[in-house]
């Protein structure tokens, strides 16, 4: 069968963007991918000149592609980058991705800080799993907590994370399914810049996961594809499967979820509906009331020692 031609230049296409009814060749796809990244940074005014941006890197494809794109942008827009990796303590998994993060940061001349669960919350994730029988709910809270703390220590004014379109669409659906809409309230930072929460930016939020993998491959960014051994447990994994099926049948579903969410966010912002964030009475990190979730969880782990 004859290969489809690139919708932009007519060369043989390497990728099909079903949601946009377009096929693209390697060169046109790379341009399209990079332009979407730049447009997202501009649209949400994610990075200001001379700012210091902490990039959460895991060694996986999303954060590595993000790091490469930001390092490239740094040549046009003067700003600083520091990378932060959270080592949860997952035997046989994190050590591999950590090695990739170290290698890429060295190549791009980006300083890397590694913060561990063991040091930061007293237990590795493997230990928590043994005690509590679950991983993801602990992992998410502690990772967020340590990343925020690390970014403040680095005097970073933003945290860039590699969330892609799939992650964002899943998060929106998960929070609706769990009836936790408030969790979405601060999603599109940077809007306010208080001193407790370092605002998070997601420059890849419009990029589908598959396209990030394709971009990494075409640009020769070497990454590991190993998956966290606890991933099978998560609610996210279930939502991911459902969403992929729906996207397959109805291309553009994920983008429509993201766009609806952005629309709601803007509306809430106009009406001043954002919930107030206070400081945790235990550690001073952000909390909506009293002790923050991380302190409550650390207390619970300690109490069961
Ligand atoms: Fe953490 Fe769960 Fe993700 Fe593994 S799958 S890194 S345990 S949130
Ligand atoms: Zn082309």
Q: How many contiguous H segments (helices) and E segments (strands) does the chain have?
A: 11, 9
Residue 42, pLDDT above cutoff 60:
yes
- Nearest ligand to the C-alpha atom of residue 117: 1
pTM here is 0.88
Listed in sequence order, the residues at least 6 apart from 268 whose beta carbon sits closer than 8 Å to its beta carbon are: 185, 274
Position 93 in a domain: yes
Position 123 in a domain: yes
Position 292 in a domain: no
Instruction: For residue 101, report the distance from its CA to the centre of ligand 1, in Å.
Output: 17
- Tell me the average pLDDT of the chain: 89
The CATH number that applies at residue 208 is 3.40.50.620
**Ligand 1 proximity of 129 Cβ (cutoff 6 Å):** no
Helical H segments across the chain, by residue range: 26-43, 61-73, 94-108, 117-121, 125-132, 136-153, 165-177, 209-218, 235-249, 253-270, 293-303
Q: Which one of 32-41, 130-139, 234-243 scores highest in mean pLDDT?
A: 32-41
The SS3 assignment for 169 reads helix
The span from the CA of 73 to the CA of 126, in Å, is 37
Q: Name the closest-CA residue to atom 8, ligand 1.
A: 136
Q: What is the mean pLDDT of residues 64-84?
A: 96
pLDDT for position 192: 47
Q: Which atom of ligand 1 is nearest to the CA of 136?
A: 2
Q: Report every protein residue that has its C-beta within 5 angstroms of ion ligand 2.
A: 6, 8-9, 11, 25, 28
The SS3 assignment for 130 reads helix
Instruction: For residue 31, report the distance from its CA to the centre of ligand 1, in Å.
Output: 32
Position 59 in a domain: yes
From 63, 135, 144, 224, mutation site for ligand 1 pocket: most ligand atoms within 8 A of C-beta:
135
Position 8 in a domain: no
* Residue pair 83/67 in contact by the 8 Å Cβ criterion: yes
Position 221 in a domain: yes
Position 209 in a domain: yes
Work out how many domains the chain is built from and give that number: 1
From 98, 117, 121, 139, mutation site for ligand 1 pocket: most ligand atoms within 8 A of C-beta:
139
Domain that includes residue 165, residue range: 44-272
Residue pLDDT, tens place only, 141-185: 999 999 999 999 999 999 999 999 999 999 999 988 887 776 676
**Ligand 1 proximity of 140 Cβ (cutoff 6 Å):** yes
**Ligand 1 proximity of 139 Cβ (cutoff 6 Å):** yes
Position 291 in a domain: no
**Ligand 1 proximity of 93 Cβ (cutoff 6 Å):** no
């Amino acid at each position: 069968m004859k290969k489809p031609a690139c919708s932009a230049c007519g060369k043989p296409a390497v990728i099909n963007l079903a949601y946009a009814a377009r096929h693209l060749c390697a060169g046109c796809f790379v341009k399209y991918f990079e332009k979407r990244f730049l447009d997202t940074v501009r649209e949400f005014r994610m990075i200001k000149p001379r700012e210091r941006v902490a990039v959460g890197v895991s060694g996986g494809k999303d954060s590595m592609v993000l790091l490469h794109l930001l390092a490239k942008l740094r040549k046009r827009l003067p700003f600083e980058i520091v990378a932060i990796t959270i080592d949860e303590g997952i035997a046989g998994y994190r050590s591999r991705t950590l090695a990739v993060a170290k290698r890429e940061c060295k190549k791009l001349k980006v300083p890397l800080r590694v913060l561990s669960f063991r040091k930061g919350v007293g237990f590795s994730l493997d230990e928590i799993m043994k005690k509590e029988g679950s991983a993801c709910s602990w992992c998410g809270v502690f990772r967020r907590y340590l990343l925020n703390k690390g970014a403040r220590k680095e005097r970073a004014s933003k945290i860039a994370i590699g969330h892609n379109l799939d992650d964002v669409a899943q998060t929106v659906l998960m929070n609706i399914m769990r009836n936790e809409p408030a969790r979405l309230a601060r999603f599109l930072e940077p809007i306010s810049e208080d001193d407790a929460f370092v605002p998070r930016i997601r420059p890849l939020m419009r990029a589908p996961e598959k396209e990030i993998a394709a971009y990494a491959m075409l640009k020769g960014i070497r990454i590991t594809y190993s998956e966290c051994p606890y991933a099978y447990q998560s609610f996210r994994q279930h939502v991911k499967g459902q969403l992929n099926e729906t996207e397959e049948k109805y291309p553009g579903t994920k983008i429509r979820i993201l766009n609806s969410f952005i629309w709601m966010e803007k509306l809430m912002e106009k009406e001043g509906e954002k919930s107030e964030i206070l400081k945790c009475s235990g550690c001073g990190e952000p909390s909506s009331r009293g002790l923050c979730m991380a302190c409550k969880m650390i207390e619970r782990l300690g109490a069961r020692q």
